[in-house]
Structure 1
Amino acid sequence: MNIEQLREYCLNKKEVTEDFPFDQDTLVFKVLGKMFALFPLEKWEKGEGSVNLKCDPEYAIELRADYENITAGWHMSKKHWNTLYIHNGELQPKLICDLIDHSYDMVVKGMTKKMRQKLIS
C-alpha cells in the first residue's frame, strides 16, 4: 500500500481528522482529537514507509514476535504503540488495514461515553 491509500483509508473512518501537530514531517490522524496513526512523511519520501499505530499491549508483543517489520513504537510508548515498516511488502494490505482498525478501536474504547456517543450518532 502507498501512503495515499493509507491516508484515504484513515480518513474514511468516522470523525477522523488529519494534521501536523508536531512538525511538518509527521502526519497525524485523530479520532475526535485523539491520535491513532502517525506517518513520518520523510521516511515515505525515502521509500522507507512506516506508520505508528496504537495497540493492545499483549497483542503488540505477539505482533512483534510474528513479524520482523513490526517493532515497538518509534518515539512512542513502547507498551502501547507499534511501528509497522511497510516498504518491503512483508505486511499485507489486509493486515495493515486490520491494525489501523485496531488502533482506531483502541482509541475509541478509551474515550468517555459522551465522546463515543458522537461516533454512533
Structure 2
Amino acid sequence: MDIESFRELCISRPGVTEEFPFDNNTLVFKVMGKMFALADVDHFVSINLKCDPEEAIRLREHYAGIRPGYHMNKKHWNTIEMDGSVPDAVVRELISESYRLVVNGLTRKMREELEGMK
C-alpha cells in the first residue's frame, strides 16, 4: 500500500479530517477531532493505528511488521511497517478497526452528529 491509498482509505470515512499538528511531515487523521491514524508523508515506511489492547498483543505476536506504537501509548497503538510484511487486506482491516474504536469512544452527542454526516 502506498501513501495515496492509505490517505484515501482514511479520508473517505465520515467525519474525518486530516492535518499536520506536530510537524510538516506527520499526517494525522482524526474523526470528530480524535486521532485514529498517523503516518510520515516524507518517509512512508510505517503507520500508527489505534488497537484494542488484547488484539494489539496478538497482532504483534503474529506479524513481524507490527510492533508497539512508536511515540504513542504502546497499550492502545500499534505501528505497522509498510514493507509488505503485513498484507494490504490486513492493513485495511486495521484502519477500519482503528476508526471504529475511536468512534465508539466518542460521546453520544458526537456519534449522533457523525451519523448525520453519512
Determine the C-alpha separation between the residues in 1 that align with 2:42 and 2:58. Answer: 28
Let me know the Cα RMSD of the aligned residues: 0.8
* SS at structure 1 position matched to 2:4: helix
Partner of 1:20: 20
Aligned residue in 1 for 2:114? 119
After TM superposition, the score normalised by the length of structure 1 is 0.93
In 2, the alpha carbon distance for the partners of 1:98 and 1:110 equals 18
Give the TM-score taking structure 2 as reference length. Answer: 0.95
Q: What amino acid is the match of 1:110?
A: G
Is the aligned partner of 1:43 residue 2:43? yes
Gaps of 5+ in 1: none
Give the AA of the match of 2:82.
Answer: I
CA distance in 1, matches of 2:87, 2:31: 24
Q: 2:63 aligns with which of 67, 74, 78?
A: 67
Percent of aligned pairs sharing the same letter: 53
Matched with 1:83 is: 79
Q: Which amino acid aligns with 1:107?
A: V
Structure 2: distance between partners of 1:6 and 1:50:
11
Q: Which residue of 1 aligns with 2:102?
A: 107
Q: What CA deviation, in whole Å up to 9, does each residue of 1:29-81 have, x standing for no partner?
A: 0001100000022322xxxx210000000000000000000000000000000
Counterpart position of 1:2: 2
Matched residue of 1:14: which SS? coil
1:56 has 2:52 as partner:
yes
Counterpart Cα distance in 1 of 2:41 and 2:114: 28
